[in-house]
Amino acid sequence: MVEVHLWSSLRSLTGGQQVVEVEAKTTGELLRALVQAHPQLQAPIDAGVSIAIDGRVIATGLTEPIPEGSEVYLMQRLRGG
Amino acid sequence: MALDDRKSDFTFVGTRPNRPDGLDKVTGRAKFGADISAPGMLHGAVLRSPHAHARIVKIDASRAEAHNDVKAVVTRADFADVPFKPGLEGEFWNVLENVMAGEKALYDGHAVAAVAATSALAARDALKLIEVEYEVLPHVTDVDKAMASDAPIIREGAADYSVPEGMHPNVVRYHESGHGDVEAGFAEADLVIEDSFVTEATHQGYIEPHACLGMLGNDGKGELWCTTQGHWIAQKTCAALLGIETSQLRVTASEIGGGFGGKTTVFIEPVALALSRKANRPVKIVMTRSEVFRATGPTSSASMDVKIGMKTDGTISAAQGVFRLQGGAFPGAPGDMTAMCAFAPYNLTNVKQIGYDVMSNRPKQAAYRAPGAPMGAFAVESVIDELCNKLGLDPVDVRLKNAAHEGTKASYGPTYERIGLVETLEAAKAHPHYAAPLKPGQGRGISCGFWFNHGGETSVSLALSEDGSAQLMVGTPDIGGSRASMALMAAEVLGIAYENIRVTVADTATLGYNDVSHGSRVTYASGLATIKAAKHAVEKLCERAAAKWGIPVDAVKWEDGCAVPSGPNAGDFDPMPLADITADMGSTGGPISGHFEATPEGAGVSFGTHIVDAEVDPETGKTSITRYTVIQDAGKAIHPTYVEGQFQGGAAQGIGWALNEEYIYGEDGRLQNSIFLDYRIPVASDLPMIDTVIVEVPNPGHPFGVRGVGETGIVPPLAAIANAVSNAAGVRMKQLPMSPPRILAALKDNG
């Protein structure tokens, strides 16, 4: 299981949960599992998210592996100039 | 992306060879956006709204269309029917609505129609023949007023899922993050300071205005030449806005005269293509400076509240910020980025940040180097400076005491990998600037700054020539010296001279997809792709050498530009130089090339610390920056001169943003200062010599340790300069720019 930490304002979409546990081995699986657990998370995911695995920010990739025991944070998609 | 072959000893990387585009640029041979023409070419011009907010009742272009010199007129009806979606999900619709107004003109300068005529003058004259009937609507240009309950509504339904119920429809996105318990943290503090700060919108200020040449036939095939930071996004967006297939539009990026984030989208490009499709001739459009100011860029303006608690030993016990950013008449103001970056330099137990994206009747904001981060840093670092002053603490020591490091839980959530903030602060403390005495009337300011950096989709192709030289094709327009740094990285892998590698920015038809040159991603991502492409070519070189020697390929290694036998059973052969292998490559297996396509996901975050001395004239309110030092972690500086240039450029633009640059709107909602005479960017005489220190804490996500350096340098200046000016003037400056009238008013208020 992966513990996914959400940003605070997503709590309104997960019944108050800021940490959601899902079964996932890749970033793509993780996003699918999050929506399965909390369908309202589809909106922020569609709007664009990045995933930080042990501090490394995966901006867009859906095939990045999530090692067992990793620290995982969902983040808003980064935009640069 | 796993990196098991990190390199730390370099031959070419870290040297300072001449720039490959230097001769072209100083002799005028370089071709920028406006430096192109085509047989039968027409000139386009855009009619723009004189109103900040108005319903377009009717557009009558019949007189213009009847004119002999006019070959086409376009309005919104000549573009594709792109679906509307809320927030940033509907970005194609947002861009289309910005490129050409639909039902309403949403800001002063919003395009409402365009013409193509036989000369630029004829096109501009023809605009006067187009009659537009407007119903003028109430407008709002201030971020706080745009959030108020009585504010005119820019557009219903633009808010996305994130906005809490009950907010004004102009609030279109909301972000909240943090950790710990800020109220408990404030209760532990010995001193809590809460204050509000305001920054005005500024323009990226690139010297080259937007310019393009578009050709589009009724068969849906087209060509576009334009000045852009990303020609693939231009291709994709123009195709969507015109309803054609992406691959049928070939886009070539010109040389670019500055972008800084402002050229990451399209403005006139789809208009030129729509005019061309209607006129069946090529159409060129070149913006005037006034059009650039009124209808492109600028950055967001901001209104912010920051509260920080500190103990007497300098420990920050809690920090909280509310950041309201106005991004024009469309979603996209980076309030979320401001919030996530604002406290990122610090190791905080209790932190909370809120960001708002707010619409107003201004042009659609565009990215500007680390979009959103400089404003937040201004507010946060000003409060930290005030706390240091009140508690009698050294500002560098306090930042060192609270500095984030490897293992710190970032204010935006995750745990940092290896980062270099502490090293920049230690370098600041040790720098002679920090110990230099100040004269009466001068003040010193310190600030830290943070930016995420980005990877992004990247394709690179490298081809070797028979004579042993190499050509490298990248897809990221060179906005900061990337051709030089790519050549250095390829030289490092191939072992051939920097001068023997020619780097070309390929067009969209000759290379795979590349994301925009933004997010400080080019040296990181295109660099990583260049290294991998060069290694791919080296593998083939080793194969050819092995075949020539009649030994297994794993008994050959690559050293200093030569194949050499490796291992006890490889045999005794002289090193075989690259040129000896390429000389007959056509007959030993064919051309030798290397390529790489991927989305690198290891762009390391970056930190900087700036030291500024300022002198304020109490009679005129004029500020002089007397000394400036930039210290920043580059991971590994590939071409140190360009890295220093990025640092200095950030400081120079920051000086402008902090002291003079601002969008000034009249009561009528029209921009009052749309030329460089009235919008004051710094000139050489406004700037001191800007000293630089490159800190190198390698990024674990890049084979050579590179961290992007293009954006972090704009994050600390606003705050560092504001702290210096406040310390010089003896009054806290809370609004940017700190122009002479504002400084005089602050001095007067302070008695």
pLDDT one-digit tens code per residue, B533-566? 999 999 999 999 999 999 999 999 999 999 999 9
Mean pLDDT within B343-368: 98
**How far apart are alpha carbons B266 and B478 in whole angstroms?**
18
Provide CB contacts within 8 A for B440, sequence distance 6+.
Answer: none
pLDDT of residue B429: 98
**Residue range B619-636: mean pLDDT, rounded:** 97
Average pLDDT over residues B126-155: 98
The pTM (predicted TM-score) of the whole model is 0.97
As to burial, measured by CB atoms within 10 angstroms (0-12 exposed, 13-18 middle, 19+ buried), residue B311 is middle
Q: What is the pLDDT of residues B225-272, one digit of tens each?
A: 999 999 999 999 999 999 999 999 999 999 999 999 999 999 999 999
Residue in B with minimal Cα distance to A45: B89
Q: What integer pLDDT is reported at residue B692 of this predicted model?
A: 98
Determine the 3-state secondary structure of B71 from DSSP.
strand
Give me the pLDDT at residue B2, please. Answer: 44
Return the residue of B nearest to A52 by Cα.
B414
Chain A residues with a Cβ under 8 Å from any Cβ in chain B: 5, 7-9, 12-13, 40, 43-44, 46-48, 52, 54-61, 64, 71, 73, 75-76, 78-81
Answer yes or no: is pLDDT of B475 > 50. Answer: yes
CATH topology of domain B22-30+455-598: Aldehyde Oxidoreductase; domain 4 (3.30.365)
User: Parallel, antiparallel, or unpaired: how do β-strands B111-117 and B70-74 relate?
Assistant: antiparallel
Position B381 pLDDT exceeds 80: yes
How far B582 CA lies from chain A's nearest CA (Å)?
A: 37
> What residues of chain B lie within 8 A of the CB of A57, using their CB?
414, 452, 601, 603, 605
CATH code for the domain defined by B372-453+604-749: 3.30.365.10
Residues in chain A within 8 Å Cβ distance of B89: 46-47
Give span(s): CATH 3.30.365.10, chain B. 22-30+455-598, 372-453+604-749
Residue B152, Ramachandran bin (φ over 0: left; ψ between -120 and 50: alpha; else beta): beta
- pLDDT single digits (tens) A16-66: 999 999 999 999 999 999 999 999 999 999 989 999 999 999 988 999 999
Cα distance between residue B664 and residue B53, in whole Å: 17
Mean pLDDT to the nearest integer, B506-535: 97
Predicted local confidence at residue B21, as pLDDT: 94
Return the pLDDT at B5.
65
pLDDT at B201 over 70: yes
pLDDT at B3 over 70: no
Q: Which amino acid is at B65?
A: E
Task: Give residue A78's pLDDT.
Answer: 83
State the Cα–Cα distance between residues B279 and B292, nearest whole angstrom: 25
User: In the prediction, which pLDDT does B4 show?
Assistant: 54
Q: Are B496 and B468 in contact (CB under 8 A)?
A: yes
- One-letter amino acid at B476 equals T
Is the omega angle on the peptide bond into residue B737 within 30 degrees of 0, that is, cis? yes
C-alpha to C-alpha distance for B195 and B462, rounded to whole angstroms: 54
Q: What is the pLDDT of residue B1?
A: 45
Phi, psi values for residue B354, rounded to 5°: -130, 135
Residue pairs between chains A and B whose CB atoms are closer than 8 Å: 111
- Tell me the nearest-neighbour CA distance from A73 into chain B, angstroms: 6
CA distances from B679 to B42, B624, B676 (A): 31, 18, 5
* Least CB–CB distance from B177: residue in A8, A59, A61: A8
Cβ of B518 within 8 Å of Cβ of A71? The answer is no
Task: Give the rounded percent of residues in chain B with a pLDDT score beyond 90.
Answer: 97
> What is the Cα gyration radius of chain B?
27
Mean pLDDT of B132-154: 98
Mean pLDDT over residues B515-532, rounded?
96
Question: Which residue do the tokens 């039968």 mark?
Answer: B40
Mean pLDDT of chain B, nearest integer: 97
**Which residues have C-beta within 8 Å of that of residue B218, sequence separation ≥ 6?**
B277, B280
Identify from B337, B454, B476 which residue to disrupt to test chain A contact, counting A C-beta atoms within 10 A and taking the largest count: B454
E strand segments, B207-300: 211-216, 222-226, 249-253, 283-286
Could you give phi then psi for residue B398, rounded to 5 degrees?
-65, -40
Rounded mean pLDDT of B328-337? 97
CA A20/CA A2 separation, integer angstroms: 8
Which of B161, B453, B711 comes nearest A44 by C-beta? B161
Q: Which residues contact B27 (CB under 8 A, 6 or more apart)?
A: none
**What residues in B contact A63, CB-CB < 8 Å?**
none
Q: Write down the ipTM of this complex.
A: 0.95
Q: Which pLDDT tens digit goes with each residue over B79-90? A: 999 999 999 889
CB contact (8 A) between residue B162 and residue A59: no
Cite the beta strand spans of B287-378 per DSSP E: 301-310, 316-326, 351-358
Which residues from A are below 8 Å from B160, CB to CB? 43, 47
d(CA B652, CA B644): 12
Partner residue facing B601 (CB), from A8, A64, A75: A64
Out of 3.10.20.30, 1.25.60.10, 3.30.420.130, 3.40.50.1970, the CATH code matching A2-76 is 3.10.20.30
Within 8 A of B337 by CB-CB distance, chain A residues are: 78-79
Map out the domains of chain A as residue ranges: 2-76
Angle between helices B482-494 and B527-549 (to 10 degrees): 30
